[in-house]
């Protein structure tokens, strides 16, 4: 039986690195891609030392031609199999909306939204020819309600949420499942210097391993009951995210706004 494969963007550090190691430990052939060549080299060394297979490559997710090339290379390395695409690459910039230059807003959208669209589109031919393929998009609890001081980041994650929901419906006919992970704030370089009303209220408690474990678990249950009757698209990670997600389903809009206003100290 051919070995399972996973292609991960933003894999050199943080959530991407933890996820690559998690899947490698489970016997997957890991495709690890990032702009950080040094980080990729150390990741590849760590994976191969454990006896697992890894293919790496430099990838800027905003460069669609580069995305197409890296996916074609991974397809060749794996013998034509792509079980899971994980669109993980992203950035987070915090602060008052009006204080950020337009270039910062555009970069956040280009990476967080454009990178997901580019990766998913370029991967489609390989996903389509792999039975039971899956796409995992890194979303955020910031897509539950727009977050003050994270306006553009939050908007980018709302876009990822919409794309995930639409493609999960659209690509069912191709036997491709599309799902989104919803962590709150995660302890990583991305949040190392972040201080907003919400981060101060809730803290930054999730680890990259928590998210990696959540991704792995979400992709492993392919039973007919789960895929059909109990089909799930969004996967909150951590208790706060789960409570916020659940609360947003049942609370009136005015209450959801008030809670978020209180958390953000605005």
pTM (2 d.p.): 0.88
Strands 234-237, 54-58: pairing is unpaired
Do residues 22 and 76 touch, judged by C-beta distance below 8 A?
no
Along the chain (266 residues), what's the average pLDDT of each consecutive run of 10 residues? 89 96 97 98 97 97 98 96 97 93 97 98 97 95 83 95 97 96 72 59 72 95 64 82 62 60 60
DSSP 250: H
Q: What is the pLDDT of residue 260?
A: 58
Q: CA-CA distance, 134 to 79, in Å (whole number)?
A: 18
The DSSP bridge partners found for residue 140 are: none
The active-site residue, picked from 28, 126, 145, 153, is: 153
Question: What number of helices (H) and strands (E) belong to the chain?
Answer: 11, 7
Nearest to 180 by CA among 206, 166, 160, 156: 160
Q: CA-CA distance, 54 to 44, in Å (whole number)?
A: 6
Active site residue 153: yes
Q: CA-CA distance, 44 to 123, in Å (whole number)?
A: 22
Run of H or E residues at 263: helix 253-264
Q: What is the pLDDT of residue 187?
A: 60
The DSSP bridge partners found for residue 183 are: 237
Q: What is the pLDDT of residue 247?
A: 59
Q: In what order do the strands lie in the sheet with 84-87?
A: 54-58, 29-34, 5-9, 84-87, 133-138, 176-183, 234-237
Q: What is the pLDDT of residue 201?
A: 54
């Amino acid at each position: 039986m051919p070995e399972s494969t996973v292609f991960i963007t933003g894999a050199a550090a943080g959530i991407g690195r933890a996820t690559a190691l998690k899947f490698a430990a489970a016997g997957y052939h890991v495709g690890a891609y990032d702009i950080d060549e040094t980080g990729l080299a150390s990741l590849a060394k760590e994976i191969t030392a454990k006896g697992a297979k890894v293919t790496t490559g430099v990838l800027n997710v905003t460069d669609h031609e580069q995305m197409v090339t890296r996916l074609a290379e991974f397809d060749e390395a794996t013998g034509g199999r792509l079980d899971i695409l994980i669109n993980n690459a992203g950035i987070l910039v915090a602060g008052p909306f009006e204080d950020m230059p337009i270039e910062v807003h555009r970069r956040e959208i280009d990476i967080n939204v454009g990178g997901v669209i580019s990766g998913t589109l370029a991967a489609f031919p390989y996903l389509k020819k792999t039975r039971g393929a899956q796409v995992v998009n890194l979303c955020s609890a910031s897509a539950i309600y727009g977050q003050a001081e994270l306006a553009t980041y939050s908007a980018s994650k709302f876009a990822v949420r919409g794309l995930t929901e639409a493609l999960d419906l659209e690509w069912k006919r191709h036997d491709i499942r599309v799902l989104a992970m919803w962590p709150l704030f995660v302890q990583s370089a991305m949040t190392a210097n972040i201080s907003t009303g919400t981060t101060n209220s809730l803290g930054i408690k999730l680890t990259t391993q928590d998210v990696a474990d959540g991704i792995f678990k979400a992709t492993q249950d392919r039973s007919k009951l789960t895929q059909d009757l109990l089909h799930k698209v969004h996967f909150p990670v951590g208790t706060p995210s789960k409570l916020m997600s659940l609360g947003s389903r049942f609370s009136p809009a005015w209450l959801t706004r008030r809670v978020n206003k209180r958390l953000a100290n605005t």
